[in-house]
Structure 1
Amino acid sequence: MVLPSFLSVTLGLIVYFLGAFFTRKIAFLRNYNIPEPVSGSIAVALGTWVIFRWTGTEITFDLSIRDYLLVLFFSTIGLNAQIQDLYRNGKALLVLLLLTVVFIVVQNVVALIGVTAFGLPRASAVMLGSASLIGGHGTSIAWGPRVSEITGMDSIDELGIAAATLGLVLATLVGGPIAKFLIERNGLEGDHETVPTVGLEYEEPGEPHEQIDHVSLMRALLVSHVVILFGYILHGLLARAGLDLPLFVPCLLMGIVLSNTVPVALPRLPWPARTRALAITSDYSLSLFLAMSLMSMQFWTLQGVGGPLIAVLAVQVAVAAVFILFVFFPLMGRSYTAAVLSAGFAGFTLGATPTAIANMSSVTKSYGAAPLAFILLPLVSAFFVDLANAVVIQFFVSL
């Protein structure tokens, strides 16, 4: 049974407020920066699993609106980027990219050891490694037939999808606690004066803040849509040149270009970059996207692959935590931005880029803004990593 688009969006909104209620009532969720949509979404996903178990009915959702929310969100991220920040922090971008490539290899080595211990074919390791975790559902589905042909395993598609599904859940649960540990242990604090790129800080009743009205909100939406329009054009040009990128990547790039040229050329034109109106647009699109993504998880796909899946993913989470604490955070500079990036790194290496952004957003709500983190991580996780991942996957499949 497929729920139509309108009902899916409505349920996504309900899921967000359900998660926000859980966050207010459950200290663990609040104290360890678990994104609001997570708990409510998991509750719905478990509900659809129970219905499947009792009645055999598979409840799925029309998620067509989710694609719009994703490009809207990354357009707002691009609008908040300042070229001078990227220029000053080019070294950090390079270090983040190199660490990501290293971890892709580490993740597949861990998976290779795991499948060997369970007596599975070596080529199947990528389905419990970077193809499903860093790559997500799309990469897992794309590589499934190839790995199935090599290994002769009929269930390899289910294994990859199950790993990607469970990885999303784990990614949303570990990023916040890691960042909390790093921030409090090292006495770090964000910028409470700067309006967050995404993830408005929790406010006390009566606390003064920037005024938002329908005009500022409509302006933020209009400019975001202009960015998306140019993103579509750039996406088409890149596709003709043979470079196939997700649509949200050109939208992110066009947001950066427009936000660093239009205000200079037209200084009197009101521009929404780093305003609360744009931050609200970011929060809305990201929260609803994540709610719809997680509530649509099909836990019944985990059946039949439980043993190797749970064991290997448990080790993957442990290795990711160790890597972040002892390698990633020190090499990224031990700063507050590095701590926020640590939450994001856990999010996309175990789940997906939106999961990473949601983790970082939840952290900045509690500890203050970290605008640079929301630019650096998407550039690596959504742009460079797919190319590196494909090369590494090909190597491990050929072992």
Structure 2
Amino acid sequence: MNFTFNDFGILLKFDMIGTLAIGLISLYIGLLIKKKFKFFYNFGIPAPVIGGILFAIIHLFIRISKIGSIEYTTTLETPFMVAFFATIGLGSSVKALKKGGKLLVIFWLLSGFMTFMQTVIGVSLAKITGINPLLGILAGSVSMSGGHGSAGAFGKTVEGMGVIGASAMALSSATFGLIAGGLLGAPLAIYLIKKNSLKPKDIVGKENIGLKENDEVKTITSDSLLSHIGMLTVIMAIGITFSQYLKSILGIALPSYVGAMFIAILFNNLNIKFKFFSIDRNLVEIIGGVSLNIFLSMALISLRLWELADLALPMFIILFVQVLFMGIFTMFIVFKAMGKDYDAAVMVAGMCGSGLGATTNAMLNMGEVSEKHGYTVNPYIVVPLTGAFLIDIFQMPIIITAINMFSK
């Protein structure tokens, strides 16, 4: 850490390790706040988001007060971001998709249309309010159905194209979406259940839902950790090279994680068939969770919130319309298309959660409904599979095409 002076007072410069340390401190402060205040737990707001935004607000205050300013070295952001998305790719399999059947296909297609409309809404309102259309894309599918991971990745990509406030816009929109998805999802589903007098069929115990693999729980050792890190880094290296190759031959903006996620999906499905590596799913999940937390912590503490001053009103308008669209879309189209039954209502709660925030939010929403009216299997197969993986088949091409279309 170095001390110098500038127009804002004391300038604190943190190197790569210092930035990691501050990020982890913000993460643990976020965990403490989340434990103390139920609001954050009820809306599924991650600890790194709580702590990171708190640190970003403190930075904004000391900058406005001319006390000082902070510079972070975010070199480690990209490796942790790519590692997280690679673990998502390792969690996908054709075998799991077969369990969803016709309902999964319908829900997936509806989710694809949702991501398209989120991008259209973002771009259209950005033009109407007079801001860069790329910022509208970030306040659309990138941060809504993409969540903080996608927002952090594409925010950096757009910011690298010279768009001021891109990362702040994307991550702030994702945070808004988490809260809005929680406020909208469960109440809307419960309203549909009561209005239509819906009753669950084939109620199961909470422990019997979902797609948990019947893998043996293994003890994590230094050898198993190293082998899995080795596997991931090879996937990441090949994936990043693949992304760079596509960028060079196609001349498009493409985040490095896209290639890594694709290679991870390919590797996982080949590995299921040929079994050349013994993957510990629990360990992969741990590595993914750690990577996401560190990535988000560093991304959020380094937010330059003062860049949002001129974007606040346009951002609010775009996000308000996104929430309005989600309510109308899920209530009048998704509910009917999914069968107008109890499972359909629960899946409405799930789409509101994942479509405005994250898959975790979707699970919290559905859990809130299921606790009151009963657990059934279908929603817990269809929604997580779509939100965690399938939606990217539509979302990535839509976002990448839109960014390259409006960057010219």
Aligned to 2:155: 137
* Paired letter, 1:230: I
Query: Which one of 286, 298, 320 corresponds to residue 315 of structure 1?
Result: 320
Q: Distance in 2 between matches of 1:189 and 1:346?
A: 28
1:1-399 equivalences in 2 (<5 Å): 1-55=12-66, 57-86=68-97, 89-111=104-126, 115=129, 121=130, 124=131, 126=133, 129-130=136-137, 132-134=139-141, 137-138=155-156, 141=159, 163-164=169-170, 166-181=172-187, 192=207, 210-214=217-221, 215-242=223-250, 244=252, 245-266=254-275, 269-272=277-280, 275-304=281-310, 306=312, 308-309=313-314, 311-313=316-318, 315-323=320-328, 325-326=330-331, 329-330=334-335, 333=338, 334=344, 339-347=349-357, 356=358, 359=361, 370-388=384-402, 390-391=404-405, 393=406
Shift of 1:99: 2.4
Shift of 1:378: 3.3
2:39 partner SS: helix
Q: Distance in 1 between matches of 2:106 and 2:234?
A: 31
Contact 1:15–1:40 (CA<8 Å) still a contact in 2? yes
Contact 2:240–2:259 (CA<8 Å) still a contact in 1? yes
Aligned to 1:153: none
Would the alpha carbon gap of residues 84 and 37 (structure 1) be closer, same or farther in structure 2, given more than 3 Å must change?
Answer: same
Contact 1:4–1:61 (CA<8 Å) still a contact in 2? yes
2:64 partner SS: helix
Q: Distance in 2 between matches of 1:127 and 1:388?
A: 8
Could you tell me the TM-score, scaled by structure 1's length?
0.72
Structure 1 stretches lacking a partner, 5+ long: 116-120, 145-156, 198-208, 348-355
Q: Which digits, 9 at most, give the CA deviation of each residue in 1:28-81, with x for residues without a partner?
A: 111222222221111111110111012263323211111001110111111111
Would the alpha carbon gap of residues 314 and 382 (structure 1) be closer, same or farther in structure 2, given more than 3 Å must change?
Answer: closer
2:44 partner SS: coil
Q: Distance in 2 between matches of 1:109 and 1:47?
A: 33
Contact 1:329–1:342 (CA<8 Å) still a contact in 2? no
Shift of 1:260: 1.0
Shift of 1:298: 1.2
Contact 2:330–2:348 (CA<8 Å) still a contact in 1? no
Percent of residue pairs bearing the same amino acid type = 19
Q: Which digits, 9 at most, give the CA deviation of each residue in 1:6-44, with x for residues without a partner?
A: 111112222222111111110111122222222111111
Contact 2:44–2:178 (CA<8 Å) still a contact in 1? no
Could you tell me the TM-score, scaled by structure 2's length?
0.71
Would the alpha carbon gap of residues 278 and 162 (structure 1) be closer, same or farther in structure 2, given more than 3 Å must change?
Answer: closer
* Paired letter, 2:28: F
Q: Which digits, 9 at most, give the CA deviation of each residue in 1:130-173, with x for residues without a partner?
A: 355445535754787xxxxxxxxxxxx55766644532431333
User: What is the Cα-based RMSD across aligned positions, in Å?
Assistant: 3.8
Q: Distance in 2 between matches of 1:92 and 1:159?
A: 34
Contact 1:179–1:342 (CA<8 Å) still a contact in 2? yes
Would the alpha carbon gap of residues 133 and 336 (structure 1) be closer, same or farther in structure 2, given more than 3 Å must change?
Answer: same
Structure 2 stretches lacking a partner, 5+ long: 1-11, 143-153, 194-199, 339-343, 371-379
Q: Which digits, 9 at most, give the CA deviation of each residue in 1:308-345, with x for residues without a partner?
A: 33652463354254245436753773376664443232
